[in-house]
Chain A
Amino acid sequence: MAQRAVWLISHEPGTPLCGTVRFSRRYPTVEKRAKVFNGASYVPVPEDGPFLKALLFELRLSDDDKDFSESRDSCSHINKTSIYALLIGGEELWPVIAFMKNGMIYACVPLVEQTLFPRPPLISISGISQGFELLFGVQGFLYSGQKNDSELNTKLSQLPDLLLQTCPFGTLLDANLENSLDSINFASVTHPQKQPTWKAGTYKGKPQVSISITEKVKSMQYDKQDIADTWQVIGVVTCKCDLEGSMPNVTISLSLPTNGSPLQDILVHPCVTSLDSAILTSSSIDAADDSAFSGPYKFPLTPPLESFNLCYYTSQVPVPPILGFYQVKEEEVQLKITVNLKLHESVKNSFEFCEARIPFYNRGPVTHVEHKVSFGQLEVFREKSLLIWIIGQKFPKSLEISLSGTVTFGAKSHEKQPFDQICIGGTAYLKLHFRILDYTLTGCYADQHSVQVFASGKPKISTCKLYRFKLT
């Protein structure tokens, strides 16, 4: 379950190496065990330079992807997970967990406590999930509240010390690195009996519980006979429980109105102590019908100190909140476009913002646009080949708006214009972004009565709902 080494690599396309090792840490005691366990199949952890090169090559992030390379492009070289074998100095280093997020590559090599030949299935290696958890933890730490490069650098400089706390010998103690940052600060507090490790200290002050529900909808509307449109709501419930006592017991319930859409695919935070079987089995795999469990969804838990995601869920609402129609007609160098959008009457007509992005790919720069909008205004970004239709805070009373126009393109020059593998010829899309405050599409809510606290003092309960929307 231990890791032999961890790396953070920033991907820098265009530079000679295409990347830089920003952080690396090796665990020699684990390496020693690897040598014994792997026996003849043991391959040592390489130095940073060769590792960087091999990893970028394998992930297709180095610039030399022009020619066919058998070791990378062969049809039998199939990766179905984020776990790779890297060819370094004629030997194959396996398993290497690696993924990229926001231009940063997170990588580690878990210990396999047996011979590597024949390769054991990944499911049998405990270090795999531990490695993922470590990398997710590091990622969470680097990007929590981080806005710019200098903040990232500060966090990177804290990393060696944090890993010394949470992973001193390669075996991860806590994936929540910020917890450790707290525990460094809480170091002087004496530990009472039965203090959970995931709770660095105890809260002192006014009791307060805040719950926030955020829903996103991902919808794809093709307006085609043979492809079904899809729309799915993804919800996350975030909580912060400021309660005294080392292990206060809390029950939080989520409720739905009578016509609400049932919550499905519920995944909970590990601090939830038990789950009703109806919650455990409610799933989008089954065809939705009236018999689906519609709450209330009760979550008994012992909250940690920090803000945490109590649960994630999905839901299938009966109709998409906004119905879109987008048509593109090619006329020589011009494209004739027509867009109609209709807000469903059941949806709250009050947006924080609402805009439609209309990108054009695999063409030259936009040289000229003629358009007519029934509502809002259109902004043109010529160099990016992008139109943005700003709809604003509200749809008009009719709840229907439209845009029509022609777009003219200049000559195609390969380097600058965006490439897309889907938008070929007449295939195009527009993306709708909006946010509605204090509203959930499923109707899911938490209120004053949703929180039961088995501790002294009556807490102040605050709840909020947020609804974000992305329509393609």
Chain B
Amino acid sequence: MAAGSGRGLACLTMGPTSRETWAQRLGTFRASPSAFMAGPEGEDLGRHLLSDLRSEKLSEPTKISLLALSLEYPAQLWPDAPAAEAAATSLLDTLVLLPPRPSALRRPLLLAATTALAAGGALGPTSGASRRLLPLLLGLASGRDLGRSFGPASEQRTLQATAWECLRELESCKPGLLGGCLGLLRGLLGQEGAVQPLSLLLALALRNALVIQARARAGLQGLLVAGDWPTEGGPWNWMLAEEGDAHLQPQAPSWPAAEEGECRLATLELSPEEARELRAAVAQLLDASYLLTPVAQAQLLWLLGWALRGLRGQPPVLFKPQLVRLLGTAQLTLLHAVLALKAAFGEALFTAQDEALLLRRLTLAAQHPALPLPARLFYLHCLLNFPENWPLGPAGEEAAPLLLGSQLCRGLLPSLLHDPTALLARLHLLCLLCVEDEEKEEKGQDQSPRRYLEELLAGLRQRAALDGGPRALATLCFQASYLVARCLAGQPVVLTPLTHGLAQLYRAQPALAPHFVDLLDRVGPELGEPLKVVLRQEVVSRPGRDEALRWHLQMLARVADGDAQSATLGFLQAAAARCTDWGLQQALLQVCRALLRAGVGGGLADLLQALARQLEDPDGRDHARLYYILLAHLEEPKLGVALGPSLAAPALASSLVAENQGFAAALMVQEAPAPIRLSVGPHRAKGPVPVLQLQVEVLEQVYSLELRFRVERQIYAPLGAVHVPCLCPGRPTRPLLLPLQPRRPAPSRLAVRALYTTPSGLTCHARLPPLLVNFADLFLPFPQPPEGAELGFFEELWDSCLPKGTESRLWCPLGPHGLEALVSRHLEPFVVVAQPPTSYLIAIRLPPDSRLLLRLEAAQADGVPVALRTDDWAVLPLVGDCLRGLSVAG
């Protein structure tokens, strides 16, 4: 094939300009496709490319380079489905129009048309290009005579293989597309021809069909039995593809982990005949699998493993004959595929002995000197994620398999001579072995992995301490320390020497401070706490030379806390004199800040005052002064919040500005959405003044809540604030009682604001929706008259209303339950004399000093006449509304 570098050829057949232009255009495009598409030539690139493919002036190699571009960047050339469809149509036209002599363009044209359709999302029953391409591919693939237009016989084999690949890609992108051709494919597999592409396509289509049918709860419906060939322009069976459309199928499923796919396949009901056919098809594929290249064999095994997993009545023993052959190879893909089968079928395919053998081969491969390092590392990964028949540990966590003893791992111990990646991988294994060996060691057994581990870590530290060594060495040392601290967090016997070794490393090489800070930020307290202590000692006990000062300060800013205050402050005082440049001063102030947060008091105030005077840089002085003021004025918890991570995005120039934003955010009251919801609860008519019962619904946890109320139009006396120490969502709350002191008896609205502290210490302010106080909420009963004197008491009140007050009559409609219900529900506490069910005398006290008397007598079915008197004429309209409201409420 003349596809390679054919520039010389091109010059013979065409004018150089066009070829040169394309070469340059393609070069620019490849350098940055997005920049090219945004430029002036971008828009028309796709169109020009298609038209120039038919140009007689351009040579074949140039056209091939154009097609190569379309194979890689169809989304840029033809960004939507209609454009992709048009491009595919144009490519197919170009293919058909090629003269019947040998041409290197047919193959890339087929690939390009397939790519355009699949990548552009145009593949489907309504696409004309799809209807042309699919039968064409199937015809080419099956080796049927397609007429002279498809070039000389010499090209047929290449095109045949290409067509199979195109079909496989289309099936991958649109599962079920070839579901209707399963029978045909099976038939072809038995005949001569390219075994590999056919096997892979059949396996893929079979797997997809099984999944789709399982989802539709249908059987295989004779799909495995041969059918008719689809013809060009004729109908294509899109049924399965349309069903499978919404669910792109993983070709290689992720690890079984009992995901849903398994359950889905289990629902597939196959008739005994179908099951037999399926078994035969799989056996046929497996028997011919040795004819495939190793990578293709692996693909076939993944696909078939997935197809049969969880399928009832399909024992995986079909795979058994392949396994021994596969276990002996050095081929990464094959061993990986065996592991996939192991994961898929577990004990059903691998006995305990098989599992041990597989583990042995894997261990061997992970350390085999003849294999490339990346492969060995991957095998090691597989070892730590080995799909055991009966795993003990939690799923998804790396662990040494049960059968992998320290004997097997002897060859996998890490050494300083290893490449960093290999060292870390092997170190992880070693750590896992140390965990297992913990018990044995306690019994005092020989030659422990732990001792080996300690020596290795010491070696790593020694290298990290080298002057002028590459940073990678330091990084490796800290990564190893982190790994050990994480895996062996519960083993002080490992962590103690590690802590001291790291302290020594710091002593030797303070420039590693950023690594130490990073390590402290990431390890748990088991290593973090003791390490912090020894590092602090290390810093404050030896002031060090000047170049180390900035590292010491950086270190101290991380490790300084309330302990060993005087030593720390002493160190800082001594250091202050040597902090001559801005950077050092800032580093010094960072330590002060850390101490402030830790709540260090007295001595620090003196230091800050001294710094505020003595530092050369004004920014530094301001900073010191600010810290001093904060220290002097804020309580400890508030100080912690104020100096905590800044809420405002840190700004650049002056760190003071950035920090001030942080303070402002932390010290000021913030506006926030309401953390609680308030509502007025049931009316309690007792006591000297009306009291609102407020129901609280807690949305967020708040502390020191203060609710402030403001009465609209000042109808009531100003209300006191209500304080609640703490509210938690989900915890029951008692209603809040809010006594009202009306200045006149009228409904009103209360504006409510909440001030509170969040769990993070910020003070917030929120406005709550206003609360409505109804007229009825102000009702209070009169004191109970002595028994027998009720009527007299009422009549006395009745009479006393006039002449100052007023009398009125109104009709109060009644609901289906009648007067009795109305009274018992709303007016019960105020009844003085009752003659159920028709007559009630009611006396209501309206603070501050009004009264309302009601006579409900001679009730009828649909209503009751109400005679009322009050000594405050202003309440009359309110009474009317209120009574009508009560009757509506029932």
Contact = CB atoms under 8 A, between A and B. Distances in A.
Nearest to A36: B248
A429 B30 CA distance: 48
A29 interface: yes
Interface stretch (B294-302, B754-762, B880-888): B294-302
A77 B253 CA distance: 28
A410 to B, nearest CB: 18
A293 interface: no
B292 interface: yes
Given A65-B470, A82-B377, A197-B194, A29 B333 contact: no
Interface in A129-182: 129-130, 132-133, 136, 157-158, 160-161, 164, 168-169, 171-176, 179
Max chain B CB contacts within 10 Å: which of A129, A197, A283, A302? A129
A414 interface: yes
A212 to B, nearest CB: 15
A411 interface: no
Contacts, number: 333
Contacts of A168: 111, 162, 165
Contacts of A194: 192, 195, 288, 291
Interface stretch (B323-331, B763-771, B782-790): B323-331
Contact of A161 (B1, B327, B471): B1
Nearest to B255: A124
A136 B334 CA distance: 14
Given A120-B255, A173-B296, A232-B369, A80 B332 contact: no
B368 interface: yes
Contact of A129 (B293, B364, B378): B378
Given A28-B72, A29-B115, A267-B371, A81 B378 contact: yes
Interface in A58-86: 60, 65-66, 68, 70, 72-83
Nearest to A68: B514
A75 B195 contact: no
Interface stretch (B473-481, B572-580, B817-825): B473-481
Contacts of A158: 4
A191 interface: yes
B752 to A, nearest CB: 41
B369 A122 contact: no
B370 A33 contact: no
Given A26-B73, A126-B336, A164-B108, A175 B295 contact: yes
A391 to B, nearest CB: 25
B88 interface: no
A196 B331 contact: no
Contacts of B31: 48-49
Interface stretch (B307-315, B420-428, B858-866): B420-428
Interface stretch (B18-26, B379-387, B847-855): B379-387
A75 B361 contact: no
Interface stretch (B272-280, B406-414, B607-615, B739-747): B406-414
A272 B255 CA distance: 29
Interface residues of B, number: 130
A15 interface: no
A81 B421 contact: yes
A280 interface: yes
B27 to A, nearest CB: 12
A70 B377 contact: no
A172 to B, nearest CB: 5
A75 B481 CA distance: 8
B479 A78 contact: yes
A37 interface: yes
A114 to B, nearest CB: 5
B1 A197 contact: no
Interface in B158-174: 158, 162, 165-166, 168-169, 172-173
Given A81-B381, A197-B291, A281 B360 contact: yes
Contacts of A273: 290, 325
A127 B253 CA distance: 11
A23 to B, nearest CB: 11
Contacts of A29: 114-115, 118-119, 169, 172-173
A274 B473 contact: no
A99 B32 contact: no
Interface residues of A, number: 107
Interface string B328-347: 11111111110110010000
Q: Which of A1, A75, A267, A419 has the most CB of B within 10 A?
A: A75
B195 to A, nearest CB: 7
B365 interface: yes
Contact of A164 (B3, B157, B475): B3
Contacts of B295: 130, 133, 172-175
Contacts of A161: 1, 3-4
A193 B411 CA distance: 46
A173 B196 contact: yes
A129 B336 contact: yes
Interface string B483-495: 1000000000000
A126 B300 CA distance: 11
Contacts of A225: none
A231 interface: no
A241 B250 CA distance: 40
B736 interface: no
Contacts of A218: 369
Contact of B381 (A37, A123, A267): A123
B165 A173 contact: yes
Contacts of B33: 47
Contacts of A281: 357, 360
A123 B169 CA distance: 24
B4 A129 contact: no
Contact of B385 (A78, A123, A157, A184): A123
A49 B32 contact: yes
Contact of A196 (B172, B290, B518, B523): B290
B706 to A, nearest CB: 43
B219 to A, nearest CB: 26
Contacts of A172: 295
Contacts of B336: 123, 126, 128-129
Given A75-B481, A75-B523, A82-B378, 16 more contacts: A28-B73, A65-B471, A80-B421, A81-B380, A81-B425, A123-B381, A124-B343, A126-B302, A161-B4, A188-B154, A193-B191, A198-B293, A285-B364, A285-B408, A285-B410, A421-B470
29 contacts: A1-B251, A1-B298, A24-B30, A29-B172, A32-B118, A47-B34, A75-B519, A80-B425, A82-B378, A99-B373, A113-B250, A123-B387, A129-B336, A130-B299, A133-B294, A136-B372, A164-B108, A169-B114, A174-B296, A234-B369, A272-B325, A272-B329, A280-B324, A283-B364, A302-B290, A314-B369, A419-B468, A419-B469, A421-B463
Interface of A: 1-2, 24-29, 31-33, 36-37, 47-49, 60, 65-66, 68, 70, 72-83, 97, 99, 101, 113-114, 120-130, 132-133, 136, 157-158, 160-161, 164, 168-169, 171-176, 179, 184, 187-188, 190-198, 218, 232, 234, 236, 265-270, 272-275, 277, 279-281, 283-285, 302, 312, 314, 414, 419, 421-422, 424
